[in-house]
Amino acid sequence: MTDQNTPVLSTRGLKKTFTIGGSFSRKQVRALGGVDLDIAHGEIVALVGESGSGKSTLARCIARLEQPSDGTFFFEGQDIIATSKRRATREYRSAVQMIFQDPFGSLNPVHRIGHFLERPLRIHGAASGRAAIEQAKRRLMAKVGLPEEMLDRYPHELSGGQRQRIAIARALAVNPRLILADEPTSMLDVSVRIGVLNLMRSLCEEQGISMLYITHDLASARYLADRIVVMFAGEFVEGGDAMELLAHPAHPYTRLLISAVPDPKRIAPFDPVERARLRREVLTPTGCPWAETATEPCSSEEPVFHRLSDTPEHWVRCGRYAPPADAPGTALELPADDEEDAA
Ligand code: ADP
Ligand code: MG
């Protein structure tokens, strides 16, 4: 067990570049531009951004399904990239569990449900012996709110929501400390989403599990997460306490995500996915990912980090951000006795 003050996960300058195309047309796609993310014990952090912004790539790098091109990350203080020892890797693979968008895709249709829980229980040694494993399986089913009889069913006999509960039970079978949930409810009917979100939240609260909850849906991020980070074209543009960030969004991209109403003044409909693609292929790798053209100042100058508030936490990376006149972000830095002197 580590010190509770050490984050469960810390990424530092994590980058991922993909090379695409055949041998004659090799092109680099920058999926992650160097991200720093900390997740505390028991904390739920929502990673929000549209399709193609690099959310899954970040989760896959953390889960070690993908090798980062640069940067590093620490799990409970241990440098995971530098750790190549097999035992440490195996320990890490059970401590960090991933839940995917499509629960059907991750459950092999030829096996009964019991099989999916039995395997991790055996492999990671969380239970041994026939009776202990049977008991552990029943306990897992109860934890995710499904009847034991379902252990004998096949994946196609279950609903989407039930299958996602099985995927959650399978992750829990190895006592994880961090769950990476990549759009876990986006393929589910609206009516069952809330149940799965509630289940994930109560499991995190009861068992002190931390979670990176990936979504493009701000409403569910607000419902589930303590903190939100907003990602655009492989970079974090804004982050903070979930309620605070949604109440006072500071980055133009966050505002755009929040406003469901299309702006009639805009001539061409804005397409963030297209902008992200341009960013990766046309714009220079320096500057702000949000810069509209390669010639404007934002495209060559690094975005400026502004701390808007400490409690609740809120920051933005934007060269154009100006604190509102009535609530200046910089006022936090002023010494308190200045006011007394003036009075
Ligand atoms: P998100 O999960 O936010 O939709 P992804 O992380 O899946 O975004 O993708 C980020 C970018 O990286 C996209 O442009 C995507 O096309 C590219 N990408 C992801 N995986 C690969 C891969 N294996 N090979 C080439 N490009 C990839
Ligand atoms: Mg994705």
pLDDT digits (tens, 9 = 90+) for 72-120: 999 999 999 887 666 668 889 899 999 999 877 888 999 999 999 999 9
- Closest residue by CA, ligand 1 atom 5: 54
pLDDT of residue 270: 63
Domain spans, the chain: 9-225, 235-341
- Closest residue by CA, ligand 1 atom 26: 18
Residue 329 has pLDDT above 60, yes or no: no
pLDDT of residue 314: 97
Burial of 160 (0-12, 13-18, 19+ CB in 10 A): middle
Helix (H, G, I), strand (E, B) or coil at 240: strand
* Average pLDDT of the residues of the chain: 85
Helix (H, G, I), strand (E, B) or coil at 231: strand
Task: Indicate the residue type of 257.
Answer: L
Nearest in space to 312 (alpha carbons), one of 198, 228, 213, 220: 228
d(CA 292, CA 256): 14
Q: Domain 9-225: which topology? A: Rossmann fold (3.40.50)
pLDDT of residue 269: 57
Ligand 1 in reach of 52 Cβ (< 6 A)? yes
- Residue 31 Cα, ligand 1 centroid: separation in angstroms? 6
Helix (H, G, I), strand (E, B) or coil at 242: helix
Task: Characterize the bridge pairing of strands 78-79 and 70-75.
Answer: antiparallel
Residue 65 has pLDDT above 50, yes or no: yes
pLDDT of residue 51: 87
Helix (H, G, I), strand (E, B) or coil at 192: helix
Task: Indicate the residue type of 120.
Answer: P
pLDDT digits (tens, 9 = 90+) for 144-153: 999 999 999 9
pLDDT of residue 342: 40
In percent, the amount of the chain with pLDDT more than 70 equals 83
Q: What ligand has the least distance to the C-alpha of 276?
A: 1
* pLDDT tier, 328 (very low <50, low <70, confident <90, very high otherwise): very low
* pLDDT tier, 170 (very low <50, low <70, confident <90, very high otherwise): very high
d(CA 305, CA 318): 7
- What would the DSSP string read from start to end of 269-335? PP-HHHHHHHHHHTS-SSS-TT-SSTTSGGGTSPPPEEEEETTTTEEEE-TT----TTS-GGGGGS-
pLDDT of residue 337: 43
pLDDT of residue 338: 42
Q: Buried b / exposed e across 244-267, counting CB within 10 Å, b at 16+? A: bbbeebbbbbbebbeeeeeeeeee
- Closest residue by CA, ligand 1 atom 18: 31
Task: Give the lowest-confidence range in 34-38, 272-276, 281-285.
Answer: 281-285
* Backbone CA torsion sign across 309, 311, 312, 315: positive
Task: Indicate the residue type of 82.
Answer: A
More confident residue, 22 or 53: 53
Ligand 1 in reach of 18 Cβ (< 6 A)? yes
Q: Which of 3-7, 126-130, 251-255 is modeled with the greatest confidence?
A: 251-255
Nearest ligand 1 atom to the CA of 276 is: 14
Ligand 1 in reach of 215 Cβ (< 6 A)? no
In percent, the amount of the chain with pLDDT more than 90 equals 58
Q: Which helix (H) or strand (E) holds 136?
A: helix 130-143
- Closest residue by CA, ligand 1 atom 10: 54
